[in-house]
């Protein structure tokens, strides 16, 4: 008998992906301070993939404590350019600096997803996408940010590939769901195997 599914994420994008896939779930975002968890990881030489995995597990485990009889989905995504890890820009000036740094470069999006039951990780998956951004003129970046407005602050790279952000790209290697931040195909496969969704 299905246990019930909880998404431990406040991401509108992840919520929409699950909803559009027909999954019945509730949303209970974790209140953990992600930057506080991430800081010591960087000092130990953790890779961007490690950071995404640890954050996904921490958020799901946190929510699992108050939902012990349900399966909790945790997810996180990091954006890395070489050794530099980027976060969601705090303001438009930071968004501009992010796009200038990514311009003409290939960066990686590392998307981790886990399932946690009673505080224990019972399944995990990592997917990576490589995004090559075309060389962007600073004036174009200004016009782009003026067009997208505050939406630039909701994504780690200051772009949304499903909208105007696709115009920034020269090449993409990886699937759409990984880029959005939830590798949904392997997640659905696992949920079907557990009898949580109709298979």
Distance in angstroms (rounded) separating the CA atoms of residues 5 and 75: 14
Residue found by looking up tokens 């997640």 in the block: 187
Q: Select which of 76, 83, 175, 198 is catalytic.
A: 76
Please enumerate in sequence order all residues whose Cβ is within 8 A of that of 69, keeping only pairs 6 or more positions apart, or say none: 3, 4
76 is catalytic: yes
Active-site amino acid positions = 76
């Amino acid at each position: 008998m299905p246990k019930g599914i909880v998404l431990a994420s406040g991401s509108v994008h992840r919520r929409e992906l699950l909803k559009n896939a027909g999954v019945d779930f509730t949303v209970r975002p974790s209140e953990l301070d992600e930057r506080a968890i991430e800081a010591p990881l960087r000092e130990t030489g953790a890779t961007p993939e490690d950071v995404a995995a640890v954050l996904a597990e921490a958020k799901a485990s946190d929510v699992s404590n108050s939902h012990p009889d349900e399966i909790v989905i945790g997810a996180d995504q990091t954006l890395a350019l070489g050794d530099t890890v980027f976060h969601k820009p705090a303001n438009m000036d930071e968004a501009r600096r992010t796009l200038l740094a990514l311009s003409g470069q290939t960066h990686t999006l590392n998307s981790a997803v886990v399932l946690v039951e009673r505080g224990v990780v019972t399944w995990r998956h990592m997917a990576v996408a490589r995004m090559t951004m075309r060389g962007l003129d600073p004036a174009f970046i200004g016009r782009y940010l003026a067009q997208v407005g505050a939406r630039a602050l909701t994504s780690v790279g200051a772009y949304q590939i499903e909208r105007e952000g696709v115009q920034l790209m020269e090449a993409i290697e990886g699937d759409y769901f990984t880029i959005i931040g939830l590798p949904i195909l392997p997640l659905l496969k696992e949920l079907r195997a557990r009898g949580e969704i109709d298979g």
